[in-house]
Every structure is written in C-alpha cells, then in structure tokens.
Homo-oligomer: A and B are copies of this chain.
Amino acid sequence: VAITQAEKKRIKTLYSKKGRKSAGQFAAEGIRLLEESLRSKYLPIIVYCADSELSDRGHQLVRDFKTMGVSVINLSSRDLSAITETESSQGLLGLFEIPDSKLENLTAKNGMILLLDNISDPGNVGTLFRSALAFGFEAVIMANESVDPYNSKVVRSSAGAVFGLPIISATGNEIFRFKKNNEFKLIVADIGGNDLCASITNIRKYVRLILALGSEAAGISASVASMADLKVRINHSKKVDSLNVAVAGSIIMKELYR
C-alpha cells in the first residue's frame, strides 16, 4: 500500500493546532503553495500526489520536487482526498517541518520586522505575511494570543509567504531583550499616534525597526505598547472608526519599503 491507515490518521491531526504542535509538522496543498515552497527552498518532508488529478503544471512541480530529492508518493484520488483538507488540492499535498525558530537566533539584524500582537483572524495574519514578504520585511514575530501561523487558513492566505519568512513566536520579555540588544526601534500602529505621512522621514532614519500591530478589538497589548519608540496612525475619513488590521499594516509596510 502507498499509504497506511495510521499515516492517514496522523496527517489528519495536522489540521488542528494541537496535532501540529505534537508532530512538529504542518500540511499545505495545491500547486501555488507548493510552488512557493520550492521558490523559497523550504522543501517538504514528503509530497503526496494523485497523478490522475495533476495538471501539466502539477506534473512539472512533482518532477522538480523529485529533482530536489523530495520523496513523492503517488496515491489514488480517493486516498489523497482522505488526507487533504479542501476541495482544491489540485492533486498535491506536502508535509513540512515547523521550524524551531528562536528570536535570539534571528540574524535579520539590519532590517524590518513585523510584530503581530494578539491577532487572531487567520485571513488577516496570512495576508500580513504576504505583504511583509512583498515589502521587504525580513521576519515576523508572533506575540501573545496570535493565531497559529501554520493554521491552514493562514498558510493559504499567505499565498506561500509562510515559506519565505522566518516566523517566530516570542514573549514580551524576549522581544524586549532582542530589541535592546540589537538596537531596534519599535513602531506601533495606533489610532492615537502621529500621522504616518508626517512621520515617514523620521522613520526612514531607523536602521532597524519592528512594526507592531495589535488586535482590532483590543489594540496593542500593554507589554508591547510600553516598548514603543513611536506610534503612527493612518489618516482616513471619520466615516469609519478604523481600518482592517491587514490593510493598515500593509499600508504602513508599503510606506516603509525601500
């Protein structure tokens, strides 16, 4: 048999946070996500495919994985659909190791880091990963009760950016030490802050910066707010109270992109 019942059962546990934590793995399906893993050289441990469902692009991707030394197991459509989560696997599922990243080991010491503080919506978090990679951010720190970055909805919304960025969970104390030891400035997106456009010349002088975004409902946590060197807001009409957090974060990151 190409896949045992026990392995099927094990893969399905990867669709819960607890299962991912216990296995140290996550799953990603579909051509686009797996292409992005290849582009970022974040290779899967193993790829399951259903030959009969693969498009030409899918076949090419499977050949590329094999060339890179990745094990590819061909399954029946039925077996594959038993281990995929959505209807749109396009005949492909990859299993990936969750990196054991520690903030103290982060070498992105001359750039920009995104800090997500207590952001729970997987679509927003994935979108922020995508924008962070697009706008030259080098890593993402997840603090407090932010959603698991390897949640499959985060991975999908990231359009594969999850493979291209170090994503590091950290406590307030760890962030404090990292910021101090490496001389990062911390900017908080805050509705009561200074206008972004008026602040941009100053911000551009920061050699190393962390951009912190808090939850739409609760704002930034006290522990992160206490480290802020600058608070910025995006000017907008009074007809809305606030912007979506992924939009606000992306607008600020776009302004900082250099």
Residues of chain A touching chain B, judged by Cβ–Cβ distance below 8 Å, are 40, 123, 127, 130-131, 133-136, 157, 159, 161, 164, 234-237, 239-244, 246-247, 250-251, 254, 257
CA distance A237 to B164 in the complex (A): 12
CA distance A16 to B123 in the complex (A): 23
Which B residues touch A164, using CB under 8 A? 239-240
The 7 closest A-B pairs by CB, nearest first: A134-B236, A247-B250, A134-B240, A127-B244, A133-B239, A133-B240, A251-B254
Are A244 and B133 in contact (CB-based, < 8 A)? Answer: no
Are A257 and B235 in contact (CB-based, < 8 A)? Answer: yes
What is the predominant secondary structure among interface residues of chain A facing chain B? loop
Are A240 and B136 in contact (CB-based, < 8 A)? Answer: no
Nearest CB of chain B from residue A102's CB, rounded to whole Å: 23
| New A-B pairs, 6, CB < 8 Å, besides A131-B244, A131-B247, A159-B241 | A127-B244, A130-B240, A134-B237, A135-B236, A164-B240, A236-B257
CA distance A244 to B257 in the complex (A): 17
10 contacts between A and B (CB under 8 A): A127-B244, A130-B240, A131-B243, A134-B237, A134-B239, A136-B237, A164-B239, A236-B254, A244-B250, A246-B247
Which B residues touch A257, using CB under 8 A? 235-237
Name which of A127, A135, A244 has the most chain B CB atoms within 10 A of its CB: A244
Name which of A131, A157, A242 has the most chain B CB atoms within 10 A of its CB: A131
| Closest partner residue, chain B, to A135 (CB atom) | B236
CA distance A133 to B237 in the complex (A): 7
Are B127 and A247 in contact (CB-based, < 8 A)? Answer: yes
Nearest CB of chain B from residue A121's CB, rounded to whole Å: 9
Are B250 and A243 in contact (CB-based, < 8 A)? Answer: yes
Are A240 and B161 in contact (CB-based, < 8 A)? Answer: yes
CA distance A134 to B131 in the complex (A): 20
Which B residues touch A234, using CB under 8 A? 254
Which B residues touch A135, using CB under 8 A? 236-237
Which B residues touch A246, using CB under 8 A? 127, 244, 246-247
Nearest CB of chain B from residue A227's CB, rounded to whole Å: 26
Which B residues touch A237, using CB under 8 A? 133-136, 257
CA distance A134 to B251 in the complex (A): 13
Are A240 and B159 in contact (CB-based, < 8 A)? Answer: yes
CA distance A131 to B239 in the complex (A): 10
